């Protein structure tokens, strides 16, 4: 187990380096960031040169990348164009997005798995067909439509919630955005769970458990569900990274000042430091989440062992 974790952690290094280098190159291909900094007017050459020097943009890209990576290991992610430290931006943006992601994941786990179990056990019945149809609708409608529609109905027409999230972004205000963010994944979790449950329902160990006379809820939770969760856990694990990085649309609609917003601003202003910094952290989140998922397999299915 310990050796497995170490090996996985070592594998992360090339992925990490490759991903950041790609982002670095991509942001640099978009052109000279200083050009956009002075608005419709051209920056005067002296100031432009001075700004370039300040942000280290006057050096060749490979050198910028090396300096950047060197700094990252000491916890210095550079400075955004508005003079704020990128770490400062992260300190405000990540807690908000993490809260939003937690809400979304909880929705996926609770509603998604519950619906999946219910429909998996009643395959072909009206409940199953109904939920399947519903998930199809959720998957096919883009998030921004769901988001804007719910915002309009619940926030403006009925006045049940505030249409926008305040800057503190407390958990209760994140419930609707979290649901919207989770909606598509939730539908997938439902479908995955349903298929998996329906498949395993006929397996020998379930039949044995039933034959032993175990109570129905015990058969379902301890035997059936536990074995059926492996694909679902894989999906949810990968989804953590997607949700954090892919919240741009949801965060825009509900005015949440999280990671998606910062990356969007960073791209718009072509602020290398912000974009690369946030993406670097997101890559780490992705890698760690995947590692955790792999380790969870052993918990769910004791037959899986890591030497």
Partner 1 sequence: MRGATHARWAVCAVAAALAATACGGGGDGGGSGDAGAVLSASWGDPQNPLEPSNTNEVQGGKVLDMIFRGLKRYDPETGEAQDMLAEKIETSDSQNFTITVKDGWTFSNGEKITAKSFVDAWNYGAGLRNNQRNAYFFGYIEGYDKVHPEEGEQSADTLSGLKVVDGRTFTVKLTQKFSTFPDTLGYAAFAPLPRAFFEDHAAWVAKPVGNGPYLVDSYAKGSQMSLRRWDDYPGDDKAQNGGVDLRVYTDNNTAYTDLIAGNLDLVDDVPAAQLKNVRNDLGDRYLNTPAGIIQTLAFPFYDEAWNTSGSEKVRKGLSMAIDRDQITKTIFARTRTPATDWTSPVLGKDGGHQAGLCGDACEYHPDEAKKLIQEGGGLPGGRFTLTYNADTGSHKDWIDAVCNSINNALDDERACTGNPVGTFADFRNQITQQKMSGPFRAGWQMDYPLIQNFLQPLYYTDASSNDGKWSDKQFDDLVDRANRETDNAKAVGLFQQAEGVVRDNMAAIPLWYQNGSAGWSDRLSDVKLNPFSVPVYDQIKVS
Q: Which of residues 12-31 bind partner 1 (CB under 8 A)?
A: 30-31
Torsion sign across C-alpha atoms 261, 101, 86, 8: negative
Applying CB under 8 A, among 43, 209, 219, 259 the residue interacting with partner 1 is 43
Q: Interface with partner 1 includes 90 (CB under 8 A)? A: no
Q: CB-wise, 195 or 265, nearer to partner 1?
A: 265
Rounded to an integer, what distance in angstroms lies between the CA atom of residue 296 and that of residue 53? 48
Q: Which stretch binds partner 1 (CB under 8 A): 13-21, 162-170, 194-202, 232-240?
A: 162-170
Residue 13 sits at the vertex; the CA angle it makes with 7 and 18, to the nearest 5 degrees, is 140
Q: Interface with partner 1 includes 151 (CB under 8 A)? A: yes
Report 109-138 residues binding partner 1 (CB under 8 A). Answer: 111, 114-115, 118, 126-127, 129-131, 133-134
By the 8 A CB rule, do 257 and 190 touch? no
Q: Interface with partner 1 includes 92 (CB under 8 A)? A: yes
By the 8 A CB rule, do 162 and 155 touch? yes
Q: Which long-range contacts (CB under 8 A, 24 or more apart) does 283-288 make?
A: 283/15, 283/16, 283/19, 283/20, 284/16, 285/240, 285/241, 285/244, 286/238, 286/240, 286/241, 287/12, 287/15, 287/16
Q: CB-wise, 131 or 233, nearer to partner 1?
A: 131
Applying CB under 8 A, among 5, 6, 22, 44 the residue interacting with partner 1 is 44
Q: Interface with partner 1 includes 9 (CB under 8 A)? A: no
Report 59-88 residues binding partner 1 (CB under 8 A). Answer: 81-84, 88
Half-sphere exposure of 280 (CA within 13 A, CB side): 24
Q: CB-wise, 60 or 83, nearer to partner 1?
A: 83
Report 207-246 residues binding partner 1 (CB under 8 A). Answer: none
By the 8 A CB rule, do 112 and 193 touch? yes
Contacts of 202 (CB under 8 A, 6+ apart): none
Report 246-265 residues binding partner 1 (CB under 8 A). Answer: 251-257, 261, 264-265
Q: Which stretch binds partner 1 (CB under 8 A): 15-23, 163-171, 193-201, 207-215?
A: 163-171
Q: Interface with partner 1 includes 140 (CB under 8 A)? A: no
End-to-end CA distance of the chain: 6
Q: Interface with partner 1 includes 107 (CB under 8 A)? A: yes
């Amino acid at each position: 187990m310990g050796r497995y974790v170490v090996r996985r952690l070592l594998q992360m290094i090339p992925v990490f380096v490759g991903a950041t280098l790609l982002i670095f190159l991509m942001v640099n291909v978009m052109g000279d960031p200083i050009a956009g900094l002075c608005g419709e007017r051209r920056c005067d050459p002296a100031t432009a040169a001075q700004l370039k020097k300040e942000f280290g943009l006057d050096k060749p890209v490979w050198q910028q990348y090396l300096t950047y990576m060197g700094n990252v290991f000491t916890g210095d992610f550079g400075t955004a164009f508005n003079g704020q430290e990128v770490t400062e931006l992260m300190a405000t943006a990540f807690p908000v997005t993490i809260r939003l992601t937690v809400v979304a994941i909880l929705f996926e786990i609770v509603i998604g798995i519950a619906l999946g179990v219910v429909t998996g056990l009643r395959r072909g019945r009206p409940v199953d067909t109904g939920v399947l149809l519903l998930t199809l609708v959720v998957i096919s409608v883009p998030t921004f439509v769901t988001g804007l529609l719910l915002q309009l109905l619940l926030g403006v027409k009925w006045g049940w919630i505030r249409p926008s999230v305040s800057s503190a972004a407390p958990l209760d205000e994140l419930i609707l955005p979290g649901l919207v963010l989770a909606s598509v994944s939730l539908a997938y979790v439902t479908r995955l769970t349903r298929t998996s449950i329906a498949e395993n329902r006929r397996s020998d160990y379930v039949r044995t458990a039933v034959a032993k006379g175990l109570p129905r809820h015990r058969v379902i939770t301890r035997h059936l569900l536990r074995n059926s969760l492996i694909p679902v856990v894989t999906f949810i694990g990968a989804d953590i990274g997607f949700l954090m990085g892919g919240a741009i649309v949801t965060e825009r609609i509900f005015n949440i000042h999280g990671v998606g917003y910062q990356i969007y601003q960073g791209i718009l202003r072509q602020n290398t430091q912000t974009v690369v910094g946030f993406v670097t952290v997101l890559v780490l989140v992705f890698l760690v989440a995947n590692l955790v998922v792999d380790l969870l397999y052993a918990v769910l299915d004791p037959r899986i062992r890591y030497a």
